[in-house]
Amino acid sequence: MNLALKDIQHNLGRFTITTLGIGMLLAIVMGMGGIYRGLVEEATLLVDKVQADFWVVQESTRGPFAEISRLPRNFEDRLLAVPGVMRANGFITHNIQREFRGHPLRLAIQGLSWPEDKGGWLPIASGRSLGSAHYEMVADAASKLSIGDRIPLGKNTFEVVGLTRRMSSNSGDPMAFMTISDAQSVQFDLSPESIRAERAARIKRFNTSDFGRIQPLASERAEGYSSGIPALGTSMVSAVLVHLKPGADPQAVKDKIEAWPDASVYSHEEQRQLLVMGMIDKARRQLLLFRILLIIVSGIIMALIIYTLTLDKLHDIAMLKIIGARNSVIFSMILQQSLLLGALGFCLAYVLGQWLFEYFPRRVVITEDDLLQLAAIVLVVSIASSLLGIAKAFSVESNEVLS
């Protein structure tokens, strides 16, 4: 006869409610760990998907996600001339927030270097990747957009031609992919009033310059469209993604590019660390600390529960002692109940997590290593929390049954 199971059957309602409470508490611990993992995965998702050997950004900056980086578009041609470089693709990233069908729509726009990069590496769930240089977009399904939706952005309207899954930025916003030229038109779009103000400021600067005094008729060109003014420089990109040829020496290529005074170079792993240890470092540490505190609180609560359950059985324990039961029997009963409570609570937390975590606004990533780690923690906490109840049980005198 197993005394632990007999005692549970005798107090089944209380044990069930206690298990439910422990399970929900462990589900919170599990969810906090999943949110931590999800935060790191979202921050490094695009870097891992692109798999560029190097990220070339503006000199003395930390790259397109950490801060503003500007490089001329012709930087791609300079990089292609470096021995060992197979591809060099421009890249743009920025966030937008619009209203679409009466609801706020927030997207992390990613500009791809068309036609070299059409988004073939994207995890397309439905539809297709980019097939035109203009007015097409691949969006993540989390944006609630559908294939065929037409979204006005700036002066143009973009059609959703494909949907991805689980492609979100480090801030949790769903990503949208379009060509670099389209991404620039969205990023630098100005209202008509802003354009008029910019033209007036342009004319004022022109008339006060030496050239404006010498060639006053040229002011008609200055007050026209920006596209009608002779270009003084190429368009700008946030970064250039470099892919090396097979067998190329990465360090030699990196040293060659780093010798340029207008660029900084980061490898795939360095760019990843910049995101983890820079942009999300405080949030990551805060979540980790909160998870540790939850584990400690869970251990304390489980210890108090086991202790309370032991106090309720003091009369029964005294009865066992008076009929000659050994301390090992009492030890085994309390320890088995504690382990069963922890095991059932862990299983309940896992089931609740699989059902609830899908509805969280941010990604929750539960890995096997985290589950094994939490299971080991629950085992240790269950054993440790039972010691308080066991110590109290051992202190019970057999004659207390008569009181």
Q: What is the pLDDT of residue 34?
A: 86
Residue with tokens 């026209």: 224
Q: What is the pLDDT of residue 176?
A: 92
- Is residue 115 reached through a cis peptide bond, with omega within 30 degrees of 0 on the bond before it? yes
Q: Is the pTM of this model over 0.85?
A: no
Q: What is the pLDDT of residue 226?
A: 54
Residue closest to 115 by CA, chosen among 138, 131, 139, 137: 131
Residue with tokens 């440790």: 384
Residue 401 neighbours by CB distance under 10 Å: 17
Q: What is the pLDDT of residue 77?
A: 87
191: left (phi over 0), alpha (psi -120 to 50) or beta: beta
Q: What is the pLDDT of residue 232?
A: 47
Q: What is the pLDDT of residue 38?
A: 84
Residue closest to 52 by CA, chosen among 109, 108, 90, 93: 90
Residue closest to 125 by CA, chosen among 146, 95, 151, 150: 146
Residue closest to 301 by CA, chosen among 13, 4, 21: 21
Q: Three-state SS for 199?
A: helix
Rounded alpha-carbon distances, angstroms, from residue 326 to 312, 330, 394: 20, 7, 10
Phi, psi at 239, each rounded to 5°? -160, 165
C-alpha–C-alpha distance, residues 160 and 140, integer Å: 10
Non-local CB neighbours of 354 within 8 Å, separated by 6+ positions: none
178: its two tokens? 């379009």
Q: Average pLDDT for consecutive 10-residue bins of the chain (403 residues)? A: 60 78 86 84 83 88 80 86 89 87 88 84 89 90 90 89 87 88 83 71 68 56 53 70 90 90 88 80 82 81 76 69 69 79 88 86 84 87 78 66 55
